Structure 1
Amino acid sequence: MQTLFSILGIYLFIAVGFGAKWAFKEKIDDRTITLLSVYFLQLFLTFWGLLKRPIDTALLFAPSLYLAITVASLLLMIPLAKLLFHDTKERSIATVAALIGNTGNLGIPLAIAMFGEESIPYTTLINLVNVFVVSTVGVFYYSRGEFDVRNSLLNILKLPVLWAAIAAIALNLIGYRPSPAVDKTLMMGAYASMTMQLILFGIYLYGIKMGELKIRLTLWVNGTKFIFIPLIAFGVLSAVEMDPMVKGILFLELLVPMAVANVNLASLYHCTPRTVTIQVFMTSAIFLGIAPILPTLLHLF
C-alpha cells in the first residue's frame, strides 16, 4: 500500500500538468517548458545528485550491472527494431524508449519506500548511469528520427547535462562538498526539475487521442519494458553474488516505467513527441497495475 501511495503522490504532478493544459490550452507553450527543463533545471538535478555523497568504488558494482544489462538489451533491440519498424522515427522509439526508465523522480523515492534510506547510494549511482544513457544513446536515437548520423552525434555533445555530469563527477572525485547554502540551492533546482518534468508529461498527455495509439509500437515498447528487460535482468542477477537487497533495488530500477526524459528528447528533436507520450503513459499505467505485487517480485532474490 505504501508503494501505491508513493506512486500516486508522484502522479499527482502529472495531473497538474494535464489540468493546466486543459484550462489554458495554447497559452501554455510545451516547447518553452521543454527547453527550460533540458537546458537549465536538469543541470541542478545533476549536480545535486552527484554531489550528495562521495563516490565509493565499492558501490559501483550495481550501476555497472545496470549499464551492462541496458547495453545488452540495446544490442538485441537494434536489429529487431530495424526489422520490424520501417519508419525512421518509429524505429528510433522502438530501439531506445524502453531503456530510459524513470530512475530519478520515481525510482529513488520508491526504493526509499521499499528498502529504506540505505538504498540512496545505489539509486543515486544508478540514476547517474541512466543520465549518461539518456544523454548519449537517447539523444542519438531520438535525433536519428530527424538528423543524420553525424548531426545526431553532435547533438550528444550539445546537450549541457552531459557536461554537467562530467563536471560534477570531477568535483566529487577531488573532494568538493557543497556548503549548506549551495546544497540548498541545488536541491531547490533539482526538485523543480523533477516536478517540471512530471508537469510537462501531463501537458503532453493532454490532447492525446486513443486513435493515435500505434498498436504494434505500443506492444513492442511495453513487451520490452516489462518482459524482455526483466527476463535479462533476472537471468543476470540470478548468476551473480550480491546482497539480495541490492539485487532488489537494481531490479526495481530496471522495471520502473519510461521516464519523461523520453518526451523531452522527442520534443527537442521533433521525433513525434505525442507518440512517445502515449508510450510513457502506457508504461506508467501498467506499472501502476503491477505496483501491488512489486514487493513479491523484488524479494525473489
Structure 2
Amino acid sequence: MLLRIVSILFPLFAIVAVGYLVARRKKPDLTAANTLNMDVFTPALVFGVLAGKDFHLDQFLPLAGATLTLIVSGGLLAWGVARLCKVQAKTLVPPVMFNNCGNLGLPLAVLAFGEKALPPAVVMFMISNLMHFSVGAWLLDHHTRLTTLWKVPVVAATLLGLVVSLAGISLWPPLLIAIKMIGDISIPLMLFALGVRLTDAHFGHWRIGLGGAALRPVAGMAVAALLTLVVPMPPLQQGMLIVFGALPPAVLNFIFAERYQQEPEKVASIVLLGNVIALIFLPLALALTLPG
C-alpha cells in the first residue's frame, strides 16, 4: 500500500518540484501561461468533461451537495477558530474553505482512482470554483458584483457544459476530441505553475501559517467522513470526497488576498505550509480510501 501511495503522489510532487527548481534558477514569468490556463485550458477541460456523452449530472448531485456542505462547513469552523484565536476571519476562512482541487485535486483523482474519477473530480472542482469566485470574493470585498460571475471563463465553461449535458446535445466527436486535447494541457501546467508560485511564498508568519495549514485538511477530512455516513454516494465518490477534504489550501487564496490586500503574507504562509504538510495528509487520506 505504501508503494502504491508513493507511486500515485510521486508524479504530482515531481512536477511541482521541477517547477520550483526551474523558478529558482531561471525565474520564468508565467503570467501569460497562467492566464491561458485560467482562460482557455482549464475551461476546455471542464467543458470537455461536462459535455461528454458519458457525463450524467444526476449521478453526481449527492456528491455536489456534499462538496458544497464540506466547503461551507470548513468556512464556519474556520470562522469559529478565528474568533477564538483573535485573528482576522478574512485571512483564515478562505484558505480553509477553498482547497487545491485544481492543481493537485484533478491529477490526484485520476492517478489514484483512474480515468473514471475525472468526471466526479470536475464536479467537485466546479462547485469549489463557483463558490470561490462568488462567495470567496465577497468575503474579502462585500462590494464584489456577483452578477458578473458568468464572465469568468471557467464559470462560463461550466454553465455551457451543463447546458449541453442537460439538453442532451451530442457534439461532433472530432470537435470534442480537440476540446479535450486543449484541456489536457491544463493539469501538468497547473502543477508546474504551483511549483513556480511556491518560490514567492515564505515562512514569515509560521504560527498562523501552520495553524491554518493543519486546520484545512483536519477539518476537511473530518467533515467529509461524516458526510459519507449520511449522503448516499458510491464508494468511489465517498473516497474522493475524503481525499478532497485532505487537499491543501488553493494557491488562488494567495492571489485573492493580494488583490484585496487582505494580509497576503499570512495567507502565503498558510498556502505554502499547507502544501508542505500535504505530504502527510494526502498519503493518510489515500491509505483510508484506496481499496486494498
Cα deviation 1:182-217 (Å, max 9, x = unaligned): 22332233232223322222222225443x2x1332
Q: 1:95 offset after TM fit, Å?
A: 0.8
Gap regions ≥5 residues in structure 2:
none
1:204 pairs, out of 197, 212, 223, with 197
- The aligned amino acid for 1:228 is A
**2:120 pairs with 1:122:** yes
Q: Residue 46 and residue 55 in structure 1: after superposition, are their counterparts in 2 closer, same or farther (change >3 A)?
A: same
- Alignment partners' CA distance in 1, 2:13 and 2:36: 21
> Paired residue for 1:136?
134
Number of residue pairs matched?
288
Q: 1:261 to 1:50 in 2, by over 3 A?
A: farther
- 1:232 partner letter: V
Task: Find the aligned partners of 2:59 and 2:49 in 1 and give their Cα distance.
Answer: 18
Question: What CA distance in whole angstroms lies between the structure 2 residues aligned with 1:236 and 1:58?
Answer: 17
Tell me: CA distance 1:3–1:281, structure 2 relative to 1, closer, same or farther (3 Å): farther
Structure 2 partner of 1:237: 228
Once the two structures are superposed, residues 54-106 of structure 1 have per-residue CA deviations (whole angstroms, 9 ceiling, x without a partner) of 3231331122111122222223433543564555xxx4341111222233453
Q: Does 1:49 align with 2:42?
A: no
State how far apart, in whole Å, the 2-side matches of 1:164 and 1:118 are: 21
Preserved contact between residue 74 and residue 95 of structure 1 (Cα < 8 Å): yes
Structure 1 stretches of 5 or more lacking a match? none
User: Measured at CA, do residues 105 and 177 of structure 1 come closer, stay the same or move farther in structure 2, by a change above 3 Å?
Assistant: farther
The one-letter code sitting in structure 2 at the alignment partner of 1:2 is R
Cα deviation code 1:219-246 (max 9, x no counterpart): 3322321222222222232344544443
1:255 aligns with 2:246: yes
Cα distance in 2, alignment partners of residues 181 and 64 from structure 1: 33
Q: Is the 8 A contact 2:41 2:185 kept in 1?
A: yes
Rounded Cα–Cα distance in structure 1 between residues aligned with 2:95 and 2:221: 15
CA distance 1:86–1:58, change in 2 (3 Å): closer
> Shift in Å at residue 247 of structure 1?
1.8
Question: C-alpha distance in 2, partners of 1:38/1:59?
Answer: 24
What is the TM-score normalised by the length of structure 1? 0.79
Displacement of 1:256 after TM fit?
A: 2.0
Deviations 1:155-196 (A, max 9, x none): 745523222211221122112333333223322332322233
Structure 2-normalised TM-score?
0.82
Aligned identity (percent) is 23
Output the aligned Cα RMSD: 3.1
1:33 deviates by 4.0
Q: How does 1:1-301 map to 2 (within 5 A)?
A: 1-25=3-27, 28-52=28-52, 53-81=54-82, 84=85, 91-141=89-139, 144=140, 148-151=141-144, 153=146, 156=149, 158-210=151-203, 212=204, 214-266=205-257, 269=260, 275-298=266-289
